Chains A and B, each alone.
Chain A
């Protein structure tokens, strides 16, 4: 059973998806459903012996193209709607033990091209209003499959975090005539203390307002709203920038860094979002090699993050770990 239930207290939708209780949980490598299907071996989701980049619809989706009728009745206080949308899985590599950080930069470019294609294709569905491309990496985040992969959720509404960013960006634009994230990027470049690196077309910085010790945002220097606005040079440059950051992350604690990667783009609901700015936010949950930053009472119950570190110090630490990227 699945449906969207309205939370009148916070003014936002949540999805119920009871089938997801049955999804595969950390299977042994021989039974990974995201590996290619080898002759005579376990049949995985991918019916061929190898692949480069693959995208398929999630077997245990929170949102479906043809959702079931909600299991509960709606009311004035509690609106309910079908959980219509699309949930896709993006396989980064046929190598079960690979991580994105360990893949060459050219593989990132392939992903960027595939993400762009999916953004364009899913935006054509009339029930889709927002396309969220993301990766949960590492058991610390709660991943159920360790094979290198990301996900795409095509929501039938604009998610609340994105909506807050849009509201703030519009408010800033109306007050100043400028883009909020262009102004933030300019301020970070002028200050310099939180810059991790710059490329020809992108800036990576640990924001002044970081909520996680090693949170990093990557922004295009040009004012872009989505992958559809990228030119070829920017696609290649983003591939190199992402590779640089993830390699630096793995050097922090000399182990594969868990993280959430969240790609924030303009909604696809037909409204103008010229005032918004594409960016990628990375949230590694570790504050020390063996200590997680938990989202406890203040963060979850009140929405106030407590960061145990100084952004300026962590940015310097990360900056010193950035190495040249190989194509």
Chain B
């Protein structure tokens, strides 16, 4: 493979690579603001300037300049090499690039950084970006000088509302145009553009429009400074107090890789942001997915329910034992409902209880109804693990809830053991059908139709509170890490299943998640999946 040299280190490149992309792939960080691996090249920030040495035997391209001579107290003529933006320059075999080892490059970076901070407001103490801001990082790495300009800085609009989710601060903006390019190229809705020139320019929304498509929060995420802020996250937390867990978005069957940022002190989630994965979501997530972190705390079940009254887990299990007492007489009168909202581990445990121990014949699958999809990331199937459940259950495939309700009306079942709260059909219908049965036990993390219809409910952990494996619509099984400690009395659903099984007198021996995973087929627990190890090997921070 052809190679180039950066600061004497040889790195390979692919046909069509720019210098910065080859460096990025090799783990060399060339400082940049406007370049983003998933967007077109703008080359407007000039932070990634590098010195490219001329081919052997050719003179270097030099510029005549005047350099300040402190001794003579005057400008003297000098020459310096023409620097080249590494985000725009394509690699050529044998090319020699000087990045950190060139004093001209260091000088240029310091100058660019000084220019970008020239009119920047003193906002770090109130800026959401502080702590993960390129301006701060690069000042320390490349500038390290104080302000020389004595004049008042240019003032521009602050707190401009771009739409329901984004607030813009023109003073902090460095006009890198990442947000403009994102809306045009990825979201396919070119609603942002740049107005004015020089130090008066600012980002504006098209007249008569708002920034209101499905990917608005991504503009905040790609913003390298604090110009675009999310109204959801604004002033809620300081990033250096947050920890990140590598999770999989639960919004739909695309299974976008995400970081769930949470405050460990208060056990509160604060935001979802994309985690790079070329095979799934590249660098992006939709608004719905980014805001879905709230589901970890909203509408949660915090304790068990027996007949609608709160009950401890032990009491609920005791009640479940009594109610399901007749279940061993005729396994064919038991229906097991799996959940496309729950992980492979949870479903596997229930499948094992139903198939191996109870001997049930009929399996159903619960989940959210179909929703809106698009051609970018959003899927119509709003359940993160539909494919995983289908793979685990094998044939005959689990039937939808509508079929369960029909069968109940036909008097086929006396008992239902269900996982998950959501169903795709009318809630009232389901309630009236299920409530007539002898025993209905539901394990769920959130309130929902199956919870309201159940006689006994066991509170389960939400995805953010436990590790789990989810299979997206492409068939990639991906692991999601635990971020929070369980709220209330919630326990992981696989554990609830195991304890219920034990209560009913079966030899459910699973004590840890590792026990459950060992019993599962290798492809279902993601070690050998095509995306094996991806969720575990991710870098802690996105570097783009």
Tell whether A pairs with B: no
